[in-house]
Structure formats: structure tokens, C-alpha cells
Amino acid sequence: MLRLIARALLAFQAPPEYVGLVRMTVADARQFPWIAAAFESVLSPYLERFERYLSYLTSLGVLDCSHPILAAQQHLGLLNEPILWPRVLGQESAPLSPDVVAEEAIHMFLLRYRPIPYTQIGSIGGETSE
């Protein structure tokens, strides 16, 4: 599911028109706060859905997200930073392929939010279970 979310987000952000919209929103948000509010109102339902999904997976024990909204934002940030922001700042394309960025973001996310197996708990921080 993380891969589907990553691919959908990166595909949504791929058109040059999206980059232009982000630039306009950032540039004009202070003078015209309604622009930022409108932009946020389009994106926030997706973020909220992702947060609920992470909460659900946490309730099942599949993930360990004590702050699912933060986890959702972190995952999106891992995708946006190397792909979207270089383009917003004027690079014609991102330095890394979207597939590489997506896979690395998923790996990093799971390293943090996948529950630690009970057998490994004693080895955290050099402690042993003996």
C-alpha cells in the first residue's frame, strides 16, 4: 500500500502544471491566504485518509505509529523533498528517479514504524535480555 500511495503521489505531482501551482501557492499565500486554504482543502482529505489507514494498521499491530498524522507527513516528506522541491526551485527534473525515491522512502518508513519483534527488544541500545 505504501508503494501505491508513493506512486500515486509522484504521478499526481509529475505534470509541470502542478509544480507551477505549488510555486504560485507559496508565492501568493501571504498576500492571499485563501489560496493556501484552497490548496490545503484539496490535499488534506488525502492526508487524513492516510492517517486513518496508518491508525488502523497500528491497531492491528502491523505498524507502530503512536502519532499517525506525523508518520503520514513524514512519508510524504520523504517523497516530496527529493522529487517535488528541486523542481519547484527550478530544476527541470529531480536528480533521482521516482521509483528509487519511492522504494527508499518505503524502506525508511518501515524501519521506523514496523513493530520490533519481541526477540529483538533486549538488544536495543546495547542491552541484552539475559
Residue 59: burial class (beta carbons within 10 Å; 0-12, 13-18, 19+): exposed
- Side-chain-side CA neighbours of 22 within 13 Å: the count stands at 17
Cell of 103: 522504494
pLDDT tens track, the chain, 130 positions: 999 999 999 999 999 999 999 999 999 999 999 999 998 999 999 999 999 999 999 999 999 999 999 999 999 999 999 999 988 998 887 778 899 999 999 999 999 999 976 555 455 555 444 4
Q: Check the CA dihedral 55-58-60-63 and report its sign.
A: positive
Cell of 66: 503512536
What are the extents of the domains in the chain?
Answer: 2-115
CATH topology of domain 2-115: Tetracycline Repressor; domain 2 (1.10.357)
Within 10 A of 54 (CB to CB), how many other CB atoms are there?
Answer: 24
What is this structure's pTM? 0.80
Residue 30 DSSP code: T
